[in-house]
Amino acid sequence: MNLDFSLAEREFRDEVRSWLHENVPKEPSPPEGPEMRAFDTAWQRKQYDGGWAGIAWPKEYGGCGLSTVEQLIWFEELAKADAPEVGTMFVGLNHCGPTLIANASEHQKAFHLPKILKGDVVWCQGFSEPGAGSDLAGLSTRAEIDGDELVVNGSKIWTSYAHLAEYQELLVRTDPNSAKHAGISWVICDMRSPGITIRPVPLSNGQHHFNQVFYDDVRIPIENVVGEINQGWTVAMSTLSFERGTAFTLTQVMLAKWIDDLIDRAKNRSINGKLAFADSEIGRRLTKLRAEAAALRAMTYMVVSRNMRRAQPGPDGSMLKILISRLRMEANAIALDLIGADAIAMNADTGGFLRGLAYRVGGGTDEIQHNIVAQRVLGLPRQS
């Protein structure tokens, strides 16, 4: 694997860096609510108007039509420029959009993809249920076919930004008599449809982006099914491969930058009369963390290189997610050690630690990811 960038790619990086220097928002993103949505969509629109939205998306749907290497360069420069995280745009940009590109009809792609890139709409995900989280195939939200419509009843949980979203990628069981992984459909749900009730699930830090969503005879046109009726498991695996693969490229870049920032903080903060980084234990942990972040970067380059030769990300994206989750948790723990007794009050570091507890669960638990790596990367047999 060649880790060097070509001359054209280096020139692309310079162009990206110059544009971001002039255009990255100076003010921080609001932490929640309609203000956060307005900030995120405005920043997305600015990228679109500047010709930088959807770096690797097809040109016919508003993207730039470039390679995943240029996408990686864009993400790296975003992190270096301290650009805001995608926030409410995460689902639409990082796995719903790519899923539609790979699986949707031409009409669905033409209608939805430009709206995502322009920041006109926010998407949320309707996969997990109170009784079907890690065991996603155990979902019970049902959709009965009534003419040219699906009638949906059930509930979804942990639905980030459902209260701010226009659309949802929704998994429903359309054939309850089929085998567990069959009879499921991947559907585009309009969140403004009658019969949808959204109940907030506040976070431990008092903020709100999680929700439980209830569906009471919600009618969805059958034309909103992506792929084929009862073939949604295949489409869902496509979605999860994007979520666990390319969607975390920006995350790992920002994580590496955050670790560097932690090292700088440790070199300028005193604990018990000496600089924190000089403390043998904290210095050792930060040095190890920085080395693992470098390994994560190399793994990301490997996965990006592989993705250039296949239609969608493979199971090796699970390796990235496992390592990202672990490094995030360790970085959060070190951040608390650096602030000492201040950790008992709610602040950015404490809030980050509390949010971090979800990293090893959201998007598929660490246990699920280890099973995927064992079976689909290493070729080990399933447990009996």
- Output the CA–CA distances (angstroms, integers) from residue 76 to 126, 283, 301, 337, 383, in the order listed: 30, 26, 12, 28, 39
For 280, which DSSP code? Answer: H
Strands 123-126 and 167-173: parallel
Question: What are the residue ranges spanned by the domains of the chain?
Answer: 7-85, 124-231, 245-377
243, 281, 292, 367: the active-site residue: 243
Residue 376 tokens read as: 């689909």
Listed in sequence order, the residues at least 6 apart from 179 whose beta carbon sits closer than 8 Å to its beta carbon are none
Q: Give the span between the Cα atoms of 365 and 133, in whole angstroms.
A: 9
On whether the CB atoms of residues 25 and 78 are closer than 8 A, the answer is no
Tell me, yes or no, if 243 is annotated catalytic.
yes
Q: Give the span between the Cα atoms of 87 and 39, in whole angstroms.
A: 9
Question: In whole numbers, what is the pLDDT of the chain averaged over residues?
Answer: 89
Q: Give the span between the Cα atoms of 242 and 96, in whole angstroms.
A: 8
Q: Give the span between the Cα atoms of 370 and 315, in whole angstroms.
A: 10
Q: Facing residues of 215 across strands?
A: 154, 196
Render each residue's pLDDT in the chain as its tens digit; 384 residues: 556 789 999 999 999 999 999 999 999 999 999 999 999 999 999 999 999 999 989 999 999 999 888 988 998 899 889 999 889 999 999 889 989 998 999 999 999 999 999 999 999 999 999 988 777 888 999 999 999 999 999 999 999 999 999 999 999 999 999 988 899 999 999 999 999 999 999 887 778 999 999 999 999 999 999 999 999 998 988 776 654 455 567 778 888 888 999 999 999 988 877 888 888 889 999 999 999 999 988 888 887 777 667 666 677 778 888 888 899 999 999 999 998 888 888 888 888 888 777 777 777 788 888 888 888 888 888 764
The CATH code that applies to domain 124-231 is 2.40.110.10
Class of domain 245-377: mainly alpha
- Output the CA–CA distances (angstroms, integers) from residue 154 to 54, 118, 135, 142, 151, in the order listed: 34, 32, 17, 6, 10
Q: Tokens 């899923």: give the residue.
A: 99
For 203, which DSSP code? Answer: -
* Domain covering 7-85 assigned CATH 1.10.540.10 in the classification: yes
Q: Give the span between the Cα atoms of 177 and 337, in whole angstroms.
A: 53
Q: What are phi and psi of 60, to 5 degrees?
A: -65, -15
What is 5-28 written as a DSSP string?
PPHHHHHHHHHHHHHHHHHS-SSP
